[in-house]
Chain A
């Protein structure tokens, strides 16, 4: 019991929280941008898988890690564009199209991976991002190793959350995105095109999702293996609902979730006699509990999942 509490005082736990939260922050922000514009993007799980593999593949072929991240984002944007074309101008079911994108993106990912790495070979490794200690700040007691000795993409994720919140809340662009998700007819009345706004939002959101996947192969681990995303995409979709479609709360939700995940991983070694699977179940159960807790309270964008067709009500 005491041991279980002592974990809470270790800097390594809290550093792990930020590390585990990073892909969730990227993914949840991506899903949030899509949904604020009115498009549910269930392609997230597949797009994260794709991003993870593309980033690894680019780095494995000798690209700089930042170039690898850009390649992953571009690949994610392509699949996002496909989802956008199917759901925005064509107005197809966002549920089915999104699931189709997930199935397509993940099977495409595994197919390409198998072209490069044959069955039976150990997953080839790359040189991942090293922790980037911020001079001065990283020497602070406790806070230093926790916050200021992370890898560069983690800082980028935190910055992206702030940027996303600012753009959505304070800029004309953000207003247009929110309006497309609340009342696309009003966007049309303003002389803007709700279809292009939604398409743009889905493309940008999908690129962010792919970055979340890319973090897994370029910073959290150093290789790609099938099933490595493990439902993180679906957890991001749950986080967006939990956050009431607000970027700041999505960041907090991701951190809270990552805390439980990091804690259960450490608890496994302390608590004896329980199957390890019970601990691994905790994050998924927690997501469902979180959804029940906020049910009925969260207000989804008014026109979420409602396709917009000119001249049709």
Chain B
């Protein structure tokens, strides 16, 4: 048995890959659920009910999907250009911190529409600047960005801890380590009253459209994709590689920073060190499940959100640990990789 490259990537397999991957992941994780003494079919049914069973749970799932769409887009843009931005988690947090910092006072006097825009731009600038450092180190000194972006995540977490216990600490929070809150009039309007769903979802969906346009229809997008397909060939064809990669870093970092700003201004109002349950890392899985297609990211983000929201409900009802959500998501990343392989290769005896 050996693998043989298909003359043309199979379209059917490419489209079927995410579905096959998710199905395979659910089958594989059934064993772990059974280990907890829970019937896997009951567990999956409970997860679906938990994610879609009521009006409230649907809004909760979509609220969870909102930051995932943006961190998924951040990973998509970067990975398309082969810039391995694994620092989405750190960029999310600096974006959130910048939003809370400026949104609490500096921007609070502005008309709400302008102030909200300012909060989001603040988050985007913070995220972009954070990723520019590793991207610059890569193009200038050839330092591998995988390790630097990963290490940056840890530095940022400590920085966030320092800020919410120090300069940005909310004096009215009864001593809890949390940041000053975004002013009430700068909080994103709700899409559905008395839920956590806010207009950030629409912003995220519109952003997905913009990213698609950028990658598919602009010169910069073509250069970014060329850099990812073959850096050598792209350079030979006259693509300014360093400038393109720095541009990709700005966009990718800004998207992850925007996710943080929107999460703060949309849901919680302030920053704590547990603001994100790994949105940055899950964004990588979202991007891969979407086959690095910006429009697919929205669908993949909803899937990941369903797993997380559903697992919380399932855990409350049946008792299997909520970490099963992380396992299902991680395994679907691996099964997706294998499924995609069969789109470009076939097995020959």
User: Which residues from A are CB-within-8-Å of B323?
Assistant: 107, 110-111, 114
Q: Encode contact with A along B286-325: 1 for CB under 8 Å, 0 otherwise.
A: 0010000000000000000000000000000000010110
Q: Known interface pairs A231-B154, A235-B151. Does A309 touch B321 (Cβ–Cβ under 8 Å)?
A: no
Say whether B159 faces chain A, with CB atoms less than 8 Å apart: yes
Beta-carbon contact of A86 and B338 below 8 Å: yes
CB atoms of B334 and A100 under 8 A apart? yes
Once A104-B330, A111-B32, A278-B162 are accepted as A-B contacts, the answer to whether A92 and B338 lie under 8 Å apart by CB is yes
Could you say which of B36, B151, B327, B337 has the most chain A C-beta atoms within 10 Å of its C-beta? B151
Instruction: Convert A89-121 into 0s and 1s, putting 1 for each residue whose CB lies closer than 8 angstroms to a CB of B.
Output: 011110111011101101110110011000000
Q: Does A148 contact B (CB under 8 A)?
A: no
Q: Interface residues of B: mostly helix, strand, loop or mixed?
A: helix
Q: Which residues of B sit under 8 angstroms from A287, Cβ to Cβ?
A: 147, 151
Report A-chain residues with C-beta under 8 Å of the C-beta of B155.
Answer: 281, 284-285
B326 pairs with A103, CB closer than 8 A: yes
Known: A234-B151, A275-B166, A277-B162. A97 touches B327 (CB 8 A): no
- Complex interface residues of chain B between 80 and 121 (CB less than 8 A to chain A): 84, 86
Decide: B147 and A241 in contact? CB cutoff 8 A.
yes
Per-position binary interface string of chain B over residues 130-161, scored 1 when its CB falls under 8 Å from any chain A CB and 0 otherwise: 00000001000111101110111111001101
Q: Does A7 contact B (CB under 8 A)?
A: no
A292 x B141 contact (CB < 8 A) = yes
Which chain B positions have C-beta within 8 A of A111?
32, 321, 323-324, 326-327
Which residues of the partner chain B approach A42 to less than 8 Å between Cβ atoms? Answer: 146
| Residues from chain B with Cβ under 8 Å of A99 in the complex | 86, 284, 333
Q: Is the CB of B150 within 8 A of A234?
A: yes
Task: Enumerate chain A residues within 8 angstroms of B341, measured Cβ to Cβ.
Answer: 90-92
Determine how close the nearest CB of chain B comes to the CB of A288; give it in whole angstroms. Answer: 5
A235 to B154, CA, bound (A): 11
In the complex, A50→B256 CA distance in Å? 29
Decide yes or no whether A134 CB sits under 8 A from chain B: no
Collect the chain A residues with CB atoms within 8 Å of residue B285's CB: 103
- Please indicate the chain A residues that have their CB under 8 angstroms from the CB of B151 in the complex: 231, 234-235, 238, 284, 287-288
Q: How many residues of B contact A (CB 8 A)?
A: 45
Interface residue tally of chain A, by bracket? 35 or more
- A237 interfacial by beta-carbon distance below 8 Å: yes
A→B interface (CB under 8 Å): 42, 82, 86, 90-93, 95-97, 99-101, 103-104, 106-108, 110-111, 114-115, 230-231, 234-235, 237-238, 241, 275, 277-278, 280-281, 284-285, 287-288, 291-292, 295-296, 309-310, 312
28 A-B interface contacts by CB (under 8 A): A91-B3, A91-B341, A92-B338, A95-B84, A96-B337, A100-B330, A100-B333, A101-B334, A103-B333, A104-B330, A104-B331, A104-B334, A108-B330, A111-B326, A114-B321, A231-B150, A234-B151, A234-B154, A275-B162, A275-B166, A277-B158, A288-B143, A291-B137, A291-B144, A295-B143, A296-B141, A296-B142, A312-B5
| Extra 17 A-B pairs, beta carbons < 8 Å, given A237-B146, A275-B166 | A86-B338, A95-B146, A97-B334, A100-B330, A100-B337, A110-B326, A111-B32, A111-B326, A231-B153, A237-B147, A238-B151, A275-B165, A277-B161, A280-B158, A281-B154, A288-B137, A292-B143
